[in-house]
Chain A
Amino acid sequence: MALVDTRHIDASDVSVIEATAGDFVALLKPRVMSLVVFTAFVGLAIAPVWPNPFIAVISILAIAVGAGASGALNMWYDADIDRVMARTAGRPIPAGRVRAADALTFGMVLSVFSVITLGLVANWLAAAMLAFTIFFYVVVYTMWLKRSTPQNIVIGGAAGAFPPMIGWTAATGTIGLESVILFLIIFLWTPPHFWALALFSQTDYGKAGIPMLPNVAGEATTRRQIFGYALLVAIAGVLPWAFGFASIVYGAAALALGLGFVWYAYGVLASTDSRPAKALFGYSLLYLFAIFALVLADSIVLRSFA
């Protein structure tokens, strides 16, 4: 007894998503996540007390999923501007593979689960810091700063700098000077890293109406600011040695890497084309990886000889 004649509707006429699991993984920004996993692991591994290995692995996983969740919420909110920029137009929402509402649900569910999991397996201070990081990235950076001020990534960079602190706290239950210094290194590294990117993808940010420094304050100002931050990054890089929790070998290597950073930044300052900016962008990724790998290696060596 049918009320309508045709009970069949062709799937092409209605909204049925074709999103695969891979599209949802893409919402987590896996490349950013890999950096989060690495820096959180270093924060956890250099802590004076080591948790049970299983607790350590699940803590890192929870931090990574929390970071991924904030990536999904970022893509939900930013779908309109992602659509305009070539670099981001292929993301799952602007490409039409994932519905915005589904990304929102996905991000919210993962945020809640990651925070609760970290609280239960590690401790609630670490969980609170993860919750704050997600809030900071999604609300303070994405919703507020990104579209309103050219200082967006300076302040927003804090979100990306928290993971090693959370890793440390997951292991110790406290906040230590060592973890704050790791925070500081990433925090100061973020502006020159993203402004270098902005210098060679400037037209895109302008098209999307995002006030990145180059298209608001001009290229010359950006190049000067990059150089200034490069000096600060180089100083921050040697702080682990200066504060006595890394060896002189680390200090020398960090100084060399920092001078390299300043050298590349000087290349950007002294030039007007985009090639040095690309080179700095590449070097900055290498720099961050190398510094954290050195902190980790140094800590392992110091412990085995202590």
Chain B
Amino acid sequence: MKPAEQDYVDLTDAQKKARRSRSVALGLALAALVVIFYVTTLVKFGPAILDRSF
């Protein structure tokens, strides 16, 4: 069986396009969250983040 035939639903072009648009937006939002929390950590702790006992 060809992979395409395993799909239960054939998406229309409009649906594929919309799904791609949602996927890209979600990806960007997640990437933004990573950057926000990374930079926030640096800003909040500053150089002191390396200056502590483990």
A residues contacting B by CB (< 8 A) are 7-12, 14, 16-22, 24, 52, 54-55, 58, 113, 117, 120-121
Contact = CB atoms under 8 A, between A and B. Distances in A.
B9 A11 contact: yes
B5 A20 contact: no
Contacts of A7: 5-6, 8
Among B7, B14, B33, B43, the one with the most A-chain Cβ atoms within 10 Å of its Cβ is B43
Nearest to B46: A52
A17 B18 contact: yes
A20 B14 CA distance: 9
A294 to B, nearest CB: 31
A16 B9 contact: yes
Q: How large is the interface on B (under 10, 10 to 19, 20 to 34, 35 or more residues)?
A: 20 to 34
A8 B8 contact: yes
Contacts, number: 57
Contact of B21 (A10, A22, A113, A117): A22
Contacts of B33: 113
B15 A16 contact: yes
Contact of A18 (B9, B15, B37): B15
Contacts of B9: 8-11, 14, 16
A21 B15 contact: no
A220 to B, nearest CB: 48
B25 interface: yes
27 contacts: A7-B5, A7-B8, A8-B5, A8-B7, A8-B8, A8-B9, A9-B8, A9-B9, A10-B9, A11-B15, A16-B11, A17-B18, A18-B12, A18-B15, A19-B22, A20-B17, A20-B18, A20-B21, A20-B22, A21-B21, A21-B22, A21-B25, A24-B22, A24-B25, A54-B39, A113-B33, A121-B40
A58 B32 CA distance: 11
Contact of B10 (A10, A19, A22): A10
B25 A11 contact: no
B31 interface: no
Contacts of A17: 15, 18
A19 B18 contact: yes
A38 to B, nearest CB: 21
Nearest to A61: B36
B40 A58 contact: yes
A93 to B, nearest CB: 15
Contacts of B37: 120
